Amino acid sequence: MFNVFFRDKKGRLVLFQFPNLSLLVFAIASLLARIVTSVGVGQVLKVISLSAIYTWALLEIFTGATYFRRLLGLVVFGCSLIATKTFLQSIG
């Protein structure tokens, strides 16, 4: 079971990879959203960060190297839905 869940098609153990562009955009936008005091700019940065994490999660769900990565994408996608709902309630 371990091999099926954590190894890719070439048999390599894949748990973590270098962050791709979506994760880097998410991390930077999230950090800036906490630092910026302007409400409008902060909200735009939150939208950018949520969009980036959705992109990363969907890419992992559909093209993840292992079942673990696909499951991780699904969990992050679900958590992002909750975060989006909370964000929309806070501005609306």
Structure tokens at 60: 């992992």
pTM of the model: 0.87
DSSP state of 18: -
Residue-wise pLDDT for 1-32, tens only, equals 888 888 888 888 887 777 799 999 999 999 99
The strand pairing partners of 15, in sequence order, are none
- Domain boundaries in the chain? 1-6+37-92
The continuous run of DSSP H or E covering 32 comes out as: helix 21-35
Question: Amino acid identity, residue 81?
Answer: L
Predicted local distance difference test score (pLDDT) of residue 15? 77
Q: What percent of the chain has pLDDT over 70?
A: 100
Structure tokens at 70: 């696909």
